[in-house]
Amino acid sequence: MARCGLHRVLTRLALLAGVWAAVIAVTASVAVARPVPGPGSASGPPRGDDRSGVSRYFAGPEGLAIPTAPCDPAGPSGGDGTMAAQLNPQLRNKMAGHLDAYRMSCARMVTQAVKERGLNQRAAAIAIATIIVESSMNNYSQAVDHTSIGLFQQQDWWGSREQRLNPAYATNAFLNDMERRYPNGSWNNAPIGEVCWRVQQPREDLRHLYGIEAADATLIANALWAGTSGGPRHPYASGRVVSGRSADGRLEAFAAGADGVHHAWQTSVNGAWSTWRFVGGPRNAQLAVASNADGRLELFALSDSTFDHMWQTGPSAGWSAWKSFGTGGHRLAAGHNADGRIEVFASNAQGVFHRWQTAPSGGWSAWEGTHGGPPNARLAMENAPDGRLEVFALSDSTFEHLYQTRVNGGWSAWENFGTGGRAVAVSHNQDGRLEVFASSGEGVFHRWQTGPTSWSAWTGTGGIPDAELATSRSVDGRVEVFAINATTASQSWQTRPNAAFSQWETFGGGGTSIGTANNADGRIEVFGTSHAGVYHRWQTGFSTWSQWAWLNDAGPAIN
Number of Cα atoms under 13 Å in the Cβ half of residue 420: 9
Phi-psi label, residue 57: left if phi above 0, alpha if psi -120 to 50, beta otherwise: alpha
* CB contact set of 390 (below 8 Å; sequence gap of 6+): 381, 382, 383, 384, 401, 402, 403, 404, 426, 434
The 3-class SS string of 377-444 reads: CEEEEEECCCCCEEEEEECCCEEEEEEECCCCCCECCCEEEEECCCEEEEEECCCCCEEEEEEECCEE
CATH 2.120.10.70 segments of the chain? 241-550
CA 321 to chain centre: 32
Sheet holding 389-394, edge to edge: 378-383, 389-394, 398-403, 415-419
Q: Where are the beta strands (DSSP E) in 422-512?
A: 423-428, 434-440, 443-448, 459-460, 468-473, 479-484, 488-493, 505-509
237 DSSP assignment:
P
pLDDT score of 50 = 33
User: Which residues in the chain show pLDDT less than 70?
Assistant: 1-64, 226-233, 542
The span from the CA of 141 to the CA of 82, in Å, is 26
Q: What is the identity of the amino acid at 92?
A: R
What pLDDT sits at residue 235?
Answer: 83
Length of the chain: 559
Ranges of H-type helices in 136-231: 161-164, 167-181, 192-200, 208-212, 214-227
Q: What is the pLDDT of residue 12?
A: 44
pTM for this prediction: 0.68
For residue 436, which of 398, 405, 488, 391 has the smallest C-alpha distance?
A: 391
Element of type H or E holding 114: helix 101-117
Fold classification of 241-550 is: Neuraminidase (2.120.10)
Of 153, 336, 193, 126, which is closest to residue 117 (Cα–Cα)?
126
Residues whose CB falls within 8 Å of the CB of residue 176, separated by 6 or more in sequence, listed in order:
none
